[in-house]
């Protein structure tokens, strides 16, 4: 019988921990959110992050810009936020309508980059230095650990569209002695490769992408996809029948999503501590 890895329950525990830490601080940490355009999904995600931040006691400021805002205006706002000592975390909600995302993210002070996307944070992570790690990677690892299965010596594969997404996970798995590999979704013979893995993480943005014949018996399956099916229902990348093979599986919604938000809040606390030290 497959066991569902409930991210919502784990996320509630992490948020409660964040709240306790913040209650003991002399001043609440601050978080700035930059939202560009009118994409409904982006507005919903920002609302959820804002709500969660307020619940744990994080001071939040939101800056909304029209879709046609110039890159220069965004860069100027980030420069201003970088210099504010009361703003410990800066989040730019992605995707941006047409602005250069890499340029915008690179302008954030790495010590305030709570999404963990800045090139300097990626470099630090690779060299084992203290860095802000992407909340989604921390959330995925938390779900895997919730299976209570040993990670040392296990084989994990990350199926996705970009190695940039997989990199933080590859570093985290290394710490636990897990043999992890990134595989692009278009790789030939993908089903046979996937069947060799004890842990399968899929983040491709396609409903029913990971099918039953791509998973070995007893595997841990983490579904990072968020899609709308033909009935406008939110579904992941994993087909329903995968439950017949997997020993553990994360649901969509209620799996990776809530944990990503919870670890974003923890990153605001971590960012405040890093800035205090420097």
Residues carrying an active site annotation? 49, 93, 115
* Token pair listed for 261: 């938000």
Which DSSP state fits 238?
Answer: B
Instruction: Report d(CA 84, CA 106) in Å as an integer.
Output: 17
Instruction: Report d(CA 251, CA 87) in Å as an integer.
Output: 34
Q: How far is CA 102 from CA 31, 119, 145, 236, in A?
A: 20, 9, 32, 27
Across 230-249, b (16+ Cβ under 10 Å) vs e yields eeeeebbbbbeebbebbbbb
Burial (CB count within 10 angstroms: exposed 0-12, middle 13-18, buried 19+), residue 20: exposed
Which DSSP state fits 204?
Answer: S
Nearest to 165 by CA among 219, 222, 208: 222
């Amino acid at each position: 019988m497959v066991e569902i890895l409930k991210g919502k329950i784990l996320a509630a525990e992490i948020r409660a921990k964040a709240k306790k830490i913040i209650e003991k601080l002399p001043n609440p940490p601050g978080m700035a959110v930059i939202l560009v355009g009118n994409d409904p999904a982006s507005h919903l995600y920002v609302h959820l992050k804002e709500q969660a931040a307020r619940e744990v006691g994080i001071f939040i400021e939101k800056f909304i810009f029209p879709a046609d805002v110039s890159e220069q205006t965004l860069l100027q706002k980030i420069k201003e936020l970088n210099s504010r000592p009361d703003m410990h975390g800066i989040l730019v909600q992605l995707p941006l309508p047409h602005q250069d995302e890499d340029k915008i993210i690179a302008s954030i002070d790495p010590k305030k980059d709570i999404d963990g996307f800045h090139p300097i944070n990626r470099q630090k992570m690779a060299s084992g230095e203290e860095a802000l790690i992407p909340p989604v990677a921390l959330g995925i690892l938390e779900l895997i650990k919730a299976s209570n299965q040993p990670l040392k010596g296990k084989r994990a594969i990350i199926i996705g569209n970009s190695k940039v997404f997989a990199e933080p996970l590859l570093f985290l798995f290394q710490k636990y002695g897990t043999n992890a590999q990134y595989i692009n979704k278009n790789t030939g013979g993908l089903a046979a490769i996937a069947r060799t893995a004890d842990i399968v993480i899929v983040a491709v943005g396609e409903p029913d992408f990971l099918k039953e014949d791509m998973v070995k018996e007893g595997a841990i399956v983490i579904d990072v996809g968020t899609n709308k099916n033909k009935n406008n229902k939110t579904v992941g990348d994993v087909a329903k029948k995968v439950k017949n093979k997997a020993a553990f599986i994360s649901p969509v919604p209620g799996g990776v999503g809530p944990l990503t938000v919870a670890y974003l809040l923890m990153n605001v606390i971590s960012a405040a501590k890093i800035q205090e030290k420097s």
